[in-house]
Structure 1
Amino acid sequence: MDSYWKKRDSGITIRIIICLGILSLLYIVFITVLAYLGLGFFPIMIISAIFILSQWFFSDRLVMWSTGAKLVTKEQFGKLHSIVEKVAFANNLPKPKIAIVNSQIPNAFATGKSHRNSVVAVTSGLLDILDDDELEGVLAHEITHIKNRDVLVITLASLFSTLAWQIMQFSFFGGLYGAGRDRNNGGAIIIVVVVAFITWIASFLIIRAISRYREYSADRGAAQTTQKPASLANALLKITGRMDMVPQKVIKRVEGYNAFFIIPAISRGSLTSLFSTHPPVESRIQKLMDMEKSMHGI
């Protein structure tokens, strides 16, 4: 364990490359389906360009908008900005933008397309329960996600998953509504539904393939940055304990964004728990405490 927290994490890089390759394959499938449905070369190129550019420019904005995250200035949250600035400097990164989510759910996430275009968001509920060292650990965890560039993969895969799900619903119910009037479109609708389903499954698997590993990697990165793994472990314990006190209807509203959160918000009886995007918090805390012992010779 003594060398575990010191060495560079190459595993996250390999997983990111594989996941980006799968996402690229999904683009090719998308274009192939458009061609099969009879669209010409130029319409396909225009649609593909619009789709790719929209995904690139608006994917992180969509996450911000849907979670209700609002950018805040240093004048509004001076201590928060100072900690982020300190952690970003320690990782040789530009300072990310900072956002607050007005929610009693204690959580944090990062989003963005690059080191220079990234946002770290925390909820008001998180600020209420953590001390400065614990908050620094959580922010270092999120900034490690930015440093590793795994935020981009999760953002793109999540957008793919959301779009595919919406296409499936629209095509299925639209097909049922119009089936009696135009049976010539039945074959095309089936193809769209099948491809959308495959895309949704692929996106789902991509998110699960990288999510659990990236949380361990971000925990380790936070420990390397702050030299206080026990503080992050304490933060995880506090977040988990407070999560049980949040009303179930509040948790249900944010379950779709669990892949981004430092601790997933899972309602009781939810199928989400069967396909968790995160490793068990007990395992994460144990690894952090092992790092604490290794670092400080306990």
Structure 2
Amino acid sequence: MARTRYASDRGLTSRMLLTMFLLGLVYVVFVGAFFVIAPKWGGVALAVAVVFLLAQYFFSDRLTLFAMHGREVSAEEAPELHGVIDRIIALSDAPKPRVAIADTDVPNAFATGRNQKKAVVCVTTGLLRRLDPVELEGVLAHEMAHVAHKDVAVMTIASFLGVCAGLITRFGLEWGLWGGFNRRDSNDQNTGLILLAVVAVSAVAYAISFLLTRALSRYRELSADRAAALLTGRPSALASALTKVSGEIARIPSRDLRSAEPFNAFFFAPAFTKGFSVSNLFSTHPSLDKRLAQLQKISAQLGRGE
């Protein structure tokens, strides 16, 4: 990774290492149990999961932009947006990412790409309409901190076990519901019991990996907030952007929010539909109060009152 002026975060590094270590343990146990229970299916399941992992790792920038209907824009097409990013580049001494705009009223932004050379930062037209330049700078500094920390690559690798276990659980259940739980093979072996055991082990592995990756995701958001606030020296501007975006998202029609929710892991702020849901319990982002409290603390450290 190219050296940048983003503040280092030992807490982030420690949390990443611990989470990856725990995920590694779960992965070893899962693979071992899977091959003991159903050795014939192990290679196929692993191959499918690897394909998904490689596709997400190498094409995350294109896939996410395509799904969000984002398009790259030049400095001539969006001079103000490029100007803000150029200021952040000057502060951080980081390579300039590709710049894109997604035409949606949901106010948000995201960064994707496996490294700084492949990075793209995208903002929505809804965000551009609602934030002033100082607030926008805070949001973009946050997104570019994700790029500097290689968060996309780290989270892609961390989610590999969950993807693998999730696929096995889903396909196993579908097969079982079509009669697989009642089948026997030529050796009078109860294939249904084997399938049920595979589904159970996969479901447990998926649940544990899901919780670990969500915890890592929430911490990386706090770390990106911290890095952006220290880089720009304006934690209050980032706090204002967070408050404004969260408030505006609450006013977006539920239909539009539901279409955006699958991309919450990439977003600056999660797009939740109104009311309580399970996704609020296992969010990819910390609560707004927690993020604002951290920014207030940084503001006090910098000698800036809110």
Task: Normalising by structure 1, report the TM-score.
Answer: 0.83
Could you tell me how far 1:27 is from its partner in structure 2?
Answer: 5.3
Identify the residue that residue 17 of structure 2 maps to in structure 1.
17
Aligned CA distance change for structure 1 residues 171 and 128 (closer, same or farther; 3 Å): same
- Structure 1 letter corresponding to 2:13: T
Could you tell me how far 1:7 is from its partner in structure 2?
Answer: 6.8
- Structure 1 letter corresponding to 2:18: I
Identify the residue that residue 196 of structure 1 maps to in structure 2.
202
Could you tell me how far 1:96 is from its partner in structure 2?
Answer: 1.6
Question: Structure 1 stretch 193-202 or stretch 47-56: which is displaced more?
Answer: 47-56
Tell me if 1:220 matches 2:221: no
Conserved 8 A contact 1:20-1:153: no
Could you tell me how far 1:159 is from its partner in structure 2?
Answer: 6.1
Structure 1 distance, partners of 2:224, 2:116, is 15
Percent identical pairs in the alignment equals: 38
Identify the residue that residue 246 of structure 1 maps to in structure 2.
252
Structure 1 SS opposite 2:121: strand
Where in structure 2 are there 5+ consecutive unaligned residues?
1-5, 186-190
Identify the residue that residue 258 of structure 1 maps to in structure 2.
264
Aligned CA distance change for structure 1 residues 46 and 145 (closer, same or farther; 3 Å): closer
Conserved 8 A contact 2:172-2:195: yes
Identify the residue that residue 113 of structure 2 maps to in structure 1.
112
Aligned CA distance change for structure 1 residues 279 and 53 (closer, same or farther; 3 Å): closer
Aligned CA distance change for structure 1 residues 193 and 78 (closer, same or farther; 3 Å): farther
Aligned CA distance change for structure 1 residues 222 and 235 (closer, same or farther; 3 Å): same
Conserved 8 A contact 2:7-2:230: no
Structure 2 distance, partners of 1:195, 1:71, is 43
Aligned CA distance change for structure 1 residues 28 and 114 (closer, same or farther; 3 Å): farther
Identify the residue that residue 73 of structure 1 maps to in structure 2.
74
Identify the residue that residue 234 of structure 1 maps to in structure 2.
240
Identify the residue that residue 188 of structure 2 maps to in structure 1.
none
Conserved 8 A contact 1:12-1:148: no
Question: Structure 1 stretch 9-18 or stretch 204-213: which is displaced more?
Answer: 204-213
Where in structure 1 are there 5+ consecutive unaligned residues?
1-5
Aligned residue pairs total: 293
Question: Structure 1 stretch 103-112 or stretch 50-59: which is displaced more?
Answer: 50-59
Identify the residue that residue 3 of structure 1 maps to in structure 2.
none
Structure 2 distance, partners of 1:208, 1:46, is 25
Structure 1 distance, partners of 2:42, 2:202, is 21
- Structure 1 letter corresponding to 2:244: K
Structure 2 distance, partners of 1:147, 1:65, is 23
Identify the residue that residue 212 of structure 2 maps to in structure 1.
206
Conserved 8 A contact 1:13-1:148: no
Tell me if 1:282 matches 2:289: yes
